[in-house]
């Protein structure tokens, strides 16, 4: 549509300031006139011309807009230009329709929010800031004179809110051109590059994976399957088991399982040796018998992000089989954890759900699991049969978050029941305890003791059992759990609410980590929640994670750098090649399982870039260079930011390839929302040797 520049444009842009471009004539083209298939759109939806994302009229505040585009965060549209596009103008906000969702959706923080940005040639030109659904819409003006490329971004305005209700409207959105300007939407521009599979194919030579240390309490059963890859058959031997004090320990070369127990505390040094037709591998391994367990972050799976309340014995068995058969177990993945709904929900039982009917506990006060879990001990035996471990879930309250039977008043018998079944991990979720807490702290400020009390009690009960059960506190970071979790008996504490598969959620979760490095160390880990990669169901039916490939790389990179427990929530029997590459990169996983256990610190933070850095056991270190912007940028990591100097050998961890020697820093190309992971060997370690080899 061609119009004279001036009153006509100004009139159509009520509330928006448009600056002249110096051109005497201008052309205006509305965003809704472009091919919107070039606009990416969150939640698997499609951007709508002149309509909201739900196909209704575009409504912001009290006003209905004729022109514009409705989308869902995260959403991007990229254009190539020729320097003659003058400006972009729009009124932006969260469409009114999110306020009309059923009341059942509208709990807690569950309201819409978005933020809108325009970038040109690597610069942010304008930014709406976070707009919530009840906020007034905002006019945006971007001066684009000279731009060669332009990017419109509608991103999530915050945790949960934007994920569900990020209904962003670019209302009245239009470009103003100088005469003859070119503006083309582009889908596959190199600046919007998404990484595919970066992990190289598994080597034929044997490789011993997983942690180089395992902690077990004196006299308690050892269950450790040594993770090994390489072309079959691989022969595995363990040296050092002949020591008198280790006579109770057995190693089965067929199952690769270390079992038995050690009565006396101490560090027992073993050597693991693997051999096949292609080569040999060797690694030191310490069996640390003592009080501390979970000496490296637990790695495994949890049922919540895929099955929610529909988890069953059969599904858990399938997953255990999948963890084994997919090869995940050979890379160190080991826990199979059942979340809420394995126990009975009397409310559901009363409403006619036969699985939940009848008593929730027996005469001795032991749990009676719901009918889809007919024999918990048999299930635990099945999972252990693969050399894997099994976890369970409960609440310190009378009810769990899902309204199932909790452990309040039954702590001792529950801990014993779980030990009898063979449980290895407890996720202990605050939820139902909120009522008790409110009563106990009525009229006063809660103390650390108030928060810690129910966890301390369960910890003592778990410690009284004849097997090790990892105690994972799940209370979302309340009362600064970081600072007292260890003292109250945690091996793991949640620092944050539920993680969803969207970019802002992942970035926000790591914010809760900025101070965590002060408290985490071997045996004590901070948990920003279970992973949201792969094929899962985080509320909207089974789907490939709504995170882009690059965002999944960032998620995995950060969880490894930060020593987060790695608990998958996806279907282990339906993993794409991309998911497999993401989860089976041993160089990346090795960071998470490094025995030094030093969590990364953020050594650089600005709007565009985060750099997380951590030292490693062998004297080298690792860094993750996170591109917070949605397009490809060259980012420089100055070694001095991490206290390193001189010449360093750098390795690209995702691609497992050397990047050679670098002095003072390294510049890398990082696609939008991706993380470039490097390992750095300072000159003092192996550079001489490497140089000679080159
Ligand atoms: C939430 C918890 C989730 C899941 C759920 C089960 O409180 O954060 O991870 O366990 O309860 O009902």
Task: State whether the beta carbon of 681 lies less than 6 angstroms from ligand 1.
Answer: no
What would the mean pLDDT of 270-297 be, rounded to a whole number? 98
The pLDDT of residue 161 is 60
% of the chain with per-residue pLDDT over 90: 85
pLDDT-derived band at 23, boundaries 50, 70, 90: very low
User: How far does residue 342's CA lie from ligand 1's centre (Å)?
Assistant: 13
Task: State whether the beta carbon of 58 lies less than 6 angstroms from ligand 1.
Answer: no
What would the mean pLDDT of 216-227 be, rounded to a whole number? 98
Which CA distances in Å does 211 have to 284, 294, 590?
Answer: 10, 10, 7
Ligand 1: residue whose CA is nearest its atom 3: 498
User: How far does residue 276's CA lie from ligand 1's centre (Å)?
Assistant: 44
Least confident of 109-118, 334-343, 670-679: 109-118
27 pLDDT above the threshold of 70: yes
Active site residue 429: yes
The pLDDT of residue 108 is 57
How does pLDDT run across 437-471, given as a tens digit for each residue?
A: 999 999 999 999 999 999 999 999 999 999 999 99
315 pLDDT above the threshold of 60: yes
How does pLDDT run across 354-387, given as a tens digit for each residue?
A: 999 999 999 999 999 999 999 999 999 999 999 9
What would the mean pLDDT of 328-335 be, rounded to a whole number? 98
Angular region, 619: left φ>0, alpha ψ -120 to 50, beta rest: left
- Cβ neighbors of 15 (< 8 A, separation 6 or more) are 91, 139
User: How far does residue 660's CA lie from ligand 1's centre (Å)?
Assistant: 45
Alpha carbon 400 to chain centroid, angstroms: 23
Active site residue 652: no
Residue 274's CB is within 10 A of a number of other CB atoms, namely 22
pLDDT-derived band at 527, boundaries 50, 70, 90: very high
CA–CA distance, 93 with 129 (Å, rounded to integer): 10
14 pLDDT above the threshold of 50: no
Please identify, by atom number, the ligand 1 atom nearest to the C-alpha of residue 498: 8
16 pLDDT above the threshold of 50: no
Coil, helix or strand at residue 60 = strand
What would the mean pLDDT of 267-294 be, rounded to a whole number? 98
Ligand 1: residue whose CA is nearest its atom 5: 401
The pLDDT of residue 101 is 80
Structural domains in the chain plus CATH codes: 5-188 (2.60.120.1060), 207-289 (2.60.40.10), 299-597 (3.20.20.70), 602-693 (2.60.40.1180)
Please identify, by atom number, the ligand 1 atom nearest to the C-alpha of residue 494: 8
How does pLDDT run across 149-178, given as a tens digit for each residue?
A: 999 999 987 655 667 789 999 999 999 998
Contact 104, 170 (CB under 8 A): no
Task: State whether the beta carbon of 527 lies less than 6 angstroms from ligand 1.
Answer: no
CA–CA distance, 322 with 313 (Å, rounded to integer): 14
What would the mean pLDDT of 500-528 be, rounded to a whole number? 90
Least confident of 297-306, 467-476, 504-513: 504-513
Selecting among 32, 313, 330, 498, the annotated active-site residue is: 498
What would the mean pLDDT of 523-539 be, rounded to a whole number? 94
Parallel, antiparallel, or unpaired: how do β-strands 113-120 and 123-132 relate?
antiparallel
Angular region, 489: left φ>0, alpha ψ -120 to 50, beta rest: left
pLDDT-derived band at 539, boundaries 50, 70, 90: confident
User: How far does residue 111's CA lie from ligand 1's centre (Å)?
Assistant: 20
Please identify, by atom number, the ligand 1 atom nearest to the C-alpha of residue 431: 7
Please identify, by atom number, the ligand 1 atom nearest to the C-alpha of residue 427: 10
Which residue in this structure is represented by tokens 């029997």?
573
Mean pLDDT of the chain, nearest integer: 92
200, two tokens:
């190289």
Sheet containing 257-260: which strands, arranged edge to edge? 222-225, 257-260, 249-252
Task: State whether the beta carbon of 501 lies less than 6 angstroms from ligand 1.
Answer: no
Task: State whether the beta carbon of 125 lies less than 6 angstroms from ligand 1.
Answer: no
What would the mean pLDDT of 514-521 be, rounded to a whole number? 89
Task: State whether the beta carbon of 299 lies less than 6 angstroms from ligand 1.
Answer: no
Ligand 1: residue whose CA is nearest its atom 2: 498
- Most distant CA pair in the chain, distance: 93
Angle at alpha carbon of residue 262, lines to 258 and 263, rounded to 5°: 165
The pLDDT of residue 8 is 29
**Residue 399: DSSP 8-state:** B
Which residue in this structure is represented by tokens 């909790």?
406
Task: State whether the beta carbon of 433 lies less than 6 angstroms from ligand 1.
Answer: no
173, two tokens:
């959105």
pLDDT-derived band at 109, boundaries 50, 70, 90: low
pLDDT-derived band at 7, boundaries 50, 70, 90: very low
pLDDT-derived band at 540, boundaries 50, 70, 90: confident
503 pLDDT above the threshold of 80: yes
pTM: 0.94
CA–CA distance, 642 with 601 (Å, rounded to integer): 9
Selecting among 135, 172, 429, 587, the annotated active-site residue is: 429
What would the mean pLDDT of 401-424 be, rounded to a whole number? 98
The pLDDT of residue 508 is 86
pLDDT-derived band at 686, boundaries 50, 70, 90: low
Alpha carbon 249 to chain centroid, angstroms: 36
Task: State whether the beta carbon of 133 lies less than 6 angstroms from ligand 1.
Answer: no
User: How far does residue 429's CA lie from ligand 1's centre (Å)?
Assistant: 7
Which residue in this structure is represented by tokens 């080298």?
620
Ligand 1: residue whose CA is nearest its atom 9: 498
User: How far does residue 360's CA lie from ligand 1's centre (Å)?
Assistant: 20
The pLDDT of residue 684 is 54
């Amino acid at each position: 549509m061609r119009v004279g520049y001036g009153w006509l444009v100004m009139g159509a842009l009520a509330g928006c300031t448009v600056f002249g471009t110096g051109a005497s004539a201008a052309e205006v083209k509305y965003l809704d006139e472009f091919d919107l298939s070039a606009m990416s759109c969150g939640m698997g939806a499609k951007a709508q011309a002149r309509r909201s994302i739900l196909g209704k009229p575009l409504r912001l505040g009290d006003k209905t807009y004729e022109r514009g585009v409705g989308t869902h965060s995260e959403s991007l549209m990229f254009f190539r230009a020729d320097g003659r596009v003058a400006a972009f103008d729009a009124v932006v906000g969260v469409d009114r329709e999110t306020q009309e969702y059923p009341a059942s959706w509208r709990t807690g923080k569950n309201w819409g929010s978005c933020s809108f940005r325009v970038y040109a040639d690597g610069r942010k030109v304008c930014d709406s800031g976070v707009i919530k659904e009840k906020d007034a819409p905002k006019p945006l003006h971007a001066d684009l004179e000279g731009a060669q490329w332009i990017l419109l971004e509608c991103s999530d305005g915050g945790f949960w809110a934007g994920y569900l209700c990020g209904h962003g409207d670019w209302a009245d959105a239009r470009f103003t051109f100088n005469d003859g300007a070119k503006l083309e939407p582009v889908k596959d521009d190199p600046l919007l590059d998404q990484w595919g599979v970066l992990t190289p194919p598994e080597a034929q030579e044997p490789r011993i994976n997983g942690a180089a240390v395992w902690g077990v309490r004196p006299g308690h059963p050892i269950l450790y399957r040594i993770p090994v890859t390489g072309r079959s058959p691989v022969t595995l031997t363990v040296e050092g088991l002949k020591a008198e004090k280790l006579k109770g320990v057995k190693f089965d070369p067929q199952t690769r399982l270390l079992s038995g127990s050690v009565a006396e505390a101490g560090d027992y040094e073993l050597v693991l040796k693997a051999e096949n037709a292609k080569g040999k591998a060797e690694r030191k391994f310490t069996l640390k018998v003592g009080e501390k367990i979970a000496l490296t972050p637990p790695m495994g799976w949890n049922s919540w992000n895929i099955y929610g309340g529909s988890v069953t014995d059969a599904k858990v068995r399938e997953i255990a089989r999948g963890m084994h058969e997919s090869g995940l177990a050979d890379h160190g993945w080991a826990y199979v954890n059942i979340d809420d709904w394995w126990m009975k929900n009397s409310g559901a039982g009363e409403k006619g759900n036969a699985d939940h009917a009848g008593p929730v506990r027996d005469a001795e006060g032991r749990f009676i699991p719901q009918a889809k879990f007919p024999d918990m001990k048999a299930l635990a035996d099945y999972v252990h049969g693969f050399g894997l471990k099994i976890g369970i879930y409960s609440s310190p309250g009378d009810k769990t978050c899902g309204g199932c039977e909790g452990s309040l008043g039954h702590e001792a018998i529950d801990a014993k029941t779980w030990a009898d079944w063979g449980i290895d991990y407890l996720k202990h979720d605050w939820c139902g305890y909120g009522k008790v807490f409110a009563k106990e702290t009525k009229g006063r400020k809660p103390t650390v003791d108030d928060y810690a009390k129910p966890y301390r009690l369960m910890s003592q009960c778990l410690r009284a059992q004849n097997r090790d059960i990892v105690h994972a506190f799940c209370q979302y970071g309340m009362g600064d759990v970081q600072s007292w979790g260890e003292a109250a008996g945690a091996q793991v504490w949640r620092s944050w609410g539920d993680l969803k598969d969207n970019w802002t959620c992942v970035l926000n979760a790591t914010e809760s980590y900025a101070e965590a490095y002060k408290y985490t160390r071997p045996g004590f880990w901070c948990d920003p929640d279970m992973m949201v990669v792969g094929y899962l169901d985080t509320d909207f039916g089974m789907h490939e994670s709504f995170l882009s490939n690059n965002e999944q790389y960032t998620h995995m990179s950060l969880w490894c750098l930060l020593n987060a427990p790695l608990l998958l929530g996806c279907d282990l029997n339906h993993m794409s090649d991309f998911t497999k590459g993401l989860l089976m990169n041993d160089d990346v996983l090795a960071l998470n399982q490094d025995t030094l256990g030093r969590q990364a610190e953020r050594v650089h933070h600005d709007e565009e870039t985060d750099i997380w850095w951590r030292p490693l056991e062998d004297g080298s270190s690792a860094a993750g260079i996170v591109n917070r912007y949605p397009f490809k940028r060259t980012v420089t990591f100055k070694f001095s930011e991490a206290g390193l100097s001189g010449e360093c050998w750098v390795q690209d961890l995702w691609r497992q390839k050397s990047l050679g020697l670098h002095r003072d820093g390294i510049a890398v190309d990082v696609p939008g929302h991706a993380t470039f992971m490097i390992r750095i060997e300072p000159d003092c370690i192996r550079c001489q040797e490497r140089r000679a080899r080159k």
